[in-house]
A and B are shown apart, each in its own frame.
Chain A
Amino acid sequence: QSALTQPASVSGSPGQSITISCTGTSSDVGVYNYVSWYQQHPGKAPKLMISDVSDRPSGVSNRFSGSKSGNTASLTISGLQAEDEADYYCSSYTSSSTWVFGGGTKLTVL
């Protein structure tokens, strides 16, 4: 199972919005609404930010939102803040009953 494709890096200024894409195939992202997103700060464990494409767990800021179109899921962060600077990973359930992650995207807040 190949990793989902994410841009290596994105950047934005405080207050701006950014979007991170996550491209899979018709065996994972394209066929299931089971995409989740994780935030990882340096030296820390990943933290769930979005489940089932667009559901936001309790406690996660409403500045984080998710969507999907075809084989590509997206994470949007609005009103960028310095604390949002981190690595972001997407994950999807697959038709092989396994899970696959994206390669990760480093978000820099300028």
Chain B
Amino acid sequence: QVQLVQSGAEVKKPGASVKVSCKASGYTFTDYYIHWVRQAPGQGLEWMGWINTKHGGTKYAQEFQDRVTMTRDTSISTAYMELSRLRSDDTALYYCARLRVCSTTSCFYWFDPWGQGTLVTVSS
């Protein structure tokens, strides 16, 4: 079945970087974008950006433009999200989610499924 499995929880100090992975299975990896969404404790969802898994192109939310890097390794069907210069308010659950690339006749704008989430804790 289609699955996105993320790497385990991380604890980082302020100013450090974190790299979260998202391994896809059950479908053709390059037929879908991977988006990243985060959720601070007790808060709502915040969209961070996407990576085109076929071409490697990216688009980031303005809030993360200078601190986030999304990459992928098609040989192992895995996407990565690296966030640098971590602050305490970056403490959150980070999710990856799949979004299908446009076909010749349709485009798609919903996320399904989502990974299980990776907790990143930033603390001195």
Contact = CB atoms under 8 A, between A and B. Distances in A.
B35 to A, nearest CB: 7
Contacts of B37: 101
Contacts of A38: 45, 111
A10 B103 CA distance: 38
B110 A46 contact: no
Contacts of A36: 109-111
B89 to A, nearest CB: 16
Nearest to B114: A45
Contacts of B110: 34, 36, 48, 51-52, 91
Contacts, number: 59
Contact of B61 (A1, A45, A51, A52): A1
B67 interface: no
Contacts of B116: 45
A57 B112 CA distance: 10
Interface residue tally of chain B, by bracket?
20 to 34
Interface in A18-66: 32, 34, 36, 38, 45-48, 51-52, 57
Interface string B34-73: 0101000000111100000000000101100000000000
Contacts of A99: 35, 47, 109
Contact of B109 (A1, A34, A45): A34
A89 B44 contact: yes
A21 to B, nearest CB: 15
Contact of A51 (B47, B59, B109): B109
Nearest to B61: A98
A101 B44 contact: yes
B111 A91 contact: yes
A109 interface: no
A69 interface: no
A103 interface: yes
Nearest to B4: A45
Interface of B: 35, 37, 44-47, 59, 61-62, 95, 97, 108-117
10 contacts: A3-B44, A38-B111, A45-B95, A47-B113, A48-B113, A52-B110, A91-B45, A97-B59, A101-B37, A104-B44
